[in-house]
Amino acid sequence: MPPSATVIKLPGPRPQIPWSGLDALPAPWFNWMGTMPYPAVQSMFDGLYPKGMQWYWRGDFVKTLPDAAIDVHLEQAAKTPSELSLMHLYPIDGAVHRVGSGDTAWSCRDATWSMVIAGIDQNPQKARPITRWTKAYWDAVHPFDLGGAYPNFMMDDEGDARLKATYGPNYARLAALKSKYDPANLFQVNQNIRPAA
């Protein structure tokens, strides 16, 4: 049985949650619910992924998972170059869909999942194979997905087109704000939005 974990962070008083149907699921190896500070959540996997690991990421926002997309996922997962490499789908639901695509910087309000494909290995000599696998997996499944992705699931070799697809029609507004508040582009680490000319 694969390991599983459930972590739920709810603000305010704890609501009554209907758990009917969960009794039919296999017992997880780890099932804990409670309030956790963000640094604790952020460090939960530090023991599994120590410093020095080789990583290559690609992500997409996903609206639907048709059978053909699932077949591609299964085909690509079978080619994984290491036991640490993975693909996760994180649900996007609730309040996210009650906000208009132009109301905040993020415009992909019709996404149902945020997908990340990560090639991971301890051996520096496997850096190229895990990168090739991640790119090939992403190339194969991307036609089923939306245009953008969570910026933290992007690598620095993906180019401005991917970032523009993530913010959609809001990108120009963000570039104008960047021009106003950071015209010298001092804050340019991660996925950089360049100041509008």
Which CATH number does the domain 50-181 belong to among 3.20.20.80, 3.40.462.20, 3.40.50.300, 1.10.357.10? 3.40.462.20
The mean pLDDT value of the chain amounts to 87
Confidence of residue 1 (pLDDT cuts 50, 70, 90): very low
Q: Where are the domains of the chain?
A: 50-181
Rounded distance between C-alpha atoms, residue 18 and residue 139, angstroms = 40
pLDDT digits (tens, 9 = 90+) for 118-168: 999 999 999 999 999 999 999 999 999 998 999 989 998 988 899 999 999
Contact between 131 and 58 (Cβ < 8 Å): no
| Structure tokens, 49 | 């992924």
Pairwise pLDDT comparison (19 vs 113), residue with the higher score: 113
Taking residues 174-183, what's their average pLDDT? 95
Per-residue CA distances from 24 to 17, 21, 33, 61 (Å): 16, 6, 19, 30
Tell me the residue type at 154.
M
pLDDT digits (tens, 9 = 90+) for 11-38: 555 555 555 666 677 777 777 777 889 8
Closest CA to 61 of 159, 153, 190, 174: 153
Count other Cβ atoms within 10 Å, centred on residue 96. Answer: 15
Pairwise pLDDT comparison (64 vs 21), residue with the higher score: 64
| Structure tokens, 156 | 């620095």
| Structure tokens, 18 | 């209907």
Q: Crossing angle for the helix pair 127-141 and 67-77, nearest 10 degrees? A: 170
* pLDDT value of position 90: 94
